[in-house]
Structures are given as C-alpha cells and as structure tokens.
Amino acid sequence: MTVEYKVVNPATGAVEKKFPTASDAEVTAAVGRAAGAFGNWSTTPLAERTAAIHRVADIYAERTAELAAIITREMGKTTAEAVDEVEYSVDIYRYYADQAATLLADEPLDASSGGNAFIRKAPIGPLLGIMPWNYPYYQVARFAGPNLIAGNTILLKHAPQCPESALAMEAIFHEAGVPADAYINLFTTNEQSAEVIADPRVRGVSVTGSERAGTAVASLAGKHLKKVVLELGGSDPFIVLDTDQLPQVVKDAVGARMENTGQACNAAKRFIVAEPLYSEFVDLFAAEMAKLTIGDPTDPDTSYGPLSSEAAATGLMAQVQDAIDKGATVHTGGRRIDGPGAFIEPTVLTDVTPQMRAYREELFGPVAVIYKVSDAEEALTLANDTPFGLGGAVYHSDPEVALDIANRLDTGMVWINEPEGGGPELPFGGTKRSGVGRELGPYGIDEFVNRKLIHAPAGE
C-alpha cells in the first residue's frame, strides 16, 4: 500500500510539504543500524544516557515556538495547545532523566532458600514505535524518553501527516547526544512496518493509535513472539451525580471534551448525568459549546482549530448524521463550517440509543453525547457498556460514594471531582479495547526491560 508522507494544513487544505517514503533497502539497513548500535548504547553509563535526554528537554524548551508551529501546520492544533504539548514533552523527558537511577535500580528480594537475590532491569534491544498524529511530540516523548534511558534503541514510524515534526525530533535526539543509529526515523509503508516487526532483531513494538492499527500490530507481534504495548481508543465517561457547583462542573466537562478539538483518546466523550441535574447540565453545556470560536489555529482568539484532516471531518460527520437520522436531538452544532479546512461546529447530542453509531463508536472530534440516569447503578451500567476502558471522571459531593463508583468503573484511570488530567509521574493506559500495557510513571520505563533475576549464595 502506498503511503504519502506530507504536510496537509487542515486549516486550509493546502499541501505544504512532501517527503519520500523509505525504500525496502533503507528500511532493512535501518534495522541493522539500530541492532548494531544496541551494544554500545545499552552499555553506555546511565549518567551519560540521562544527560542526553536532559539535553533533549533543553533543546525542546529552547525551540518551543518553532516546534509548536510545525504541529499546528501538520494537524491543526491551536498555537496555545501546541506550546502546551511541547512543554509537557519537556516535563516527560526531565522526569525520566531525573528519576532514572531510582526507577532502574536493582530490586532486592527475600529468597526462601537464602542467599542474595535481586531483580536487575536490563534493556532488551531495538524497539519499533508506531505513533499517531494527534499529539506528535508527547506520544514520542512517553515512548522514546524512557526506553532510550533504559538502554534500548529506537526505530520510530510516525503518522504520515507528521513528517516534519518526526524529522525535527530525530534531529534533536542526535544533536543532544543520542547516537544516530540509536534513534532512527522511518517513513515506512504498512507492509514495510510489518517486515520490521517480523525481524528477529526487533524485540518489541509500541503502538498508539486506532483499534484497527492495534489489532493488526498485535496480531503480527504475537505471531513473532514480540512484546507489545498498545495505547488505543477511548470513549471515556464523565459521570455527574451530585454537586452544588454545576456551572463549574460544566466548564470542566466542556474543557475535557474539547481539548485538542476533541481529538484525544482520553478526552471525556460520554456525559452521564443524574436526572435532577440533567436538564440544567444540558442547557449550560450546550451554551458553553456554542460560545467557542472555531477558526485559524494560529489566531490567539481561536478556541479550537480544525480536525486533523478532511477524512477525519468526513468520518465524524457521518457518525453525527447517523445519530440525527435515527432520532438523536441536536442542542447545538451538528454541521460542517463553510469554507476551506476541516472544521466542524461544536456539537451536543442527547437521546442517543444503542442503535446509533455514536453509542458504541469513539467520537474523535468536537461532539459530545449526554445521557440521563436515575442513580449511580444506572450510571455505572451505562459507563461500562462500551468496548473501551481507558479513563473516566466521577463527580460526587460524597468522597466515599465517588470512590466506590471509581472502583467499579472498568477503566485504567479514574479522576474524582476533576476532569481527566495527567503528569509524567502518573501511569497512562486502559483495559478492554483501549489497549494493553502502561506508559508514563514508573510503569512506563518497565514495559521493555528484562527483569532479570540474579541469585547468589550467602556471602557471595
């Protein structure tokens, strides 16, 4: 299958840059280079590896505006959100560089047979990362940062619409002191990526993307006995059962839905509201959504920019229209915005039923669905009635009730009385069709290491 690596500005539809896809020979050579570099990089002192990643963070910080402008052109993120993403990436690199000695330290064990037993964390070899377009820098930071520090080498296949940021990151790693063969950018086709996964020299694969991509990669990885981490889609519930601060809760809800123009796997997408609060919540939510200004992502007065591509906008509108045709109520939005670019009005739907695509499918864009429930049990049943299990939020004035609901949500992450957030130190990942494995925090650096048991008799 032909893959075009090109920058198509989603705000204008204009093709701004094109980049050649790698040849088969170039891909084969890249795998060989990464495998050849592993011996030296994995035995480079940890202090030197962390120093290189500290320098990566410093360069990102120095070039924040330049890096932010690239992803605004590539996928339409507003300048403010693009800057935030670069800054968050800096935090991730610094977290792992600062904490590496602790996170990778030997773990002593009590051995029933006596003697000295411990777990030593060792790198496993070259890794392939397949990254998405919605957070071009952040997604790479949480994969490449900890794994380079652990001593693995990296082959990085970015999304075809993010070639300029992919090359910028590769250049920064090399400038910072990561050897050229320890981090290699690849502009591959899907078939070439499959060959990389099959290569016995590649020891693991990390994918952030769609269910389709995750299923395909997991199948290949399993066939070739490769460790895999999958960070896939989400349809996160935002449960509101009891509050005396509804206007603020609604502001939290709108912010949680509209981050990155709604194009985040862990964005709140299904708002599940107790009946006494429901009508006011819907009115306030629709009013807040209607206030948002959608337009040029470089304009500081713009709230949210375009979707990432024309295909993304067309696909989302098909889901919305399916719901409308089958009886959903539109409280605001529901239409494309006239003119060039992949713009959709912020949209609020109610009366969505299981017969509609919007009930089961992830809505990746500025569309919110609000449901009415009678009590906590109904809220939990609805919240868990999804193939996804990434994250969720619970609002309740009683902390014990909120914690009980959080315990029973079938998700990898839950936030109580606050919208979903995060930090470099907090693990990220889900259950069910949202994927397997964790990134960020102490668990993120453990996914692709060999936890090697070492045991010696007492006194040795």
The predicted structure's pLDDT at residue 3: 83
CA distance 9 to 342: 9
Active-site residue, 162 included = no
The predicted structure's pLDDT at residue 50: 98
- Whether 282 contacts 370, CB under 8 Å: yes
In this prediction, the residues of the chain whose per-residue pLDDT falls under 70 are 1, 459-460
Per DSSP bridges, beta strands 126-130 and 116-123 are: unpaired
Per residue in 183-212, pLDDT (tens digit) is: 999 999 999 999 999 999 999 999 999 999
The predicted structure's pLDDT at residue 404: 97
CA distance 354 to 59: 49
Q: Is 24 left (phi over 0), alpha (psi -120 to 50) or beta?
A: alpha
The predicted structure's pLDDT at residue 54: 98
Catalytic option among 74, 81, 170, 231: 231
Active-site residue, 265 included = yes
**What is the side-by-side order of every strand in the sheet holding 367-373?**
329-332, 347-350, 367-373, 268-274, 236-240, 393-395, 415-416
The predicted structure's pLDDT at residue 113: 82
What number of other Cβ atoms are within 10 A of residue 325's Cβ?
9
Nearest to 221 by CA among 204, 240, 239: 204
Residue 319 has φ and ψ, to the nearest 5°, of -65, -45
Nearest to 164 by CA among 16, 13, 313: 16
Architecture of the 236-423 domain: 3-Layer(aba) Sandwich (3.40)
Query: Taking the domains of the chain in order of start, what are their residue ranges?
Result: 5-232+434-456, 236-423
Residue 407 has φ and ψ, to the nearest 5°, of -60, -30
Catalytic option among 81, 164, 265, 439: 265
The predicted structure's pLDDT at residue 1: 58
- Whether 91 contacts 98, CB under 8 Å: no
The residue type of 73 is R
CATH number of the domain located at residue range(s) 5-232+434-456 in this protein? 3.40.605.10
* 8-state DSSP, 21: P
SS3 309: coil
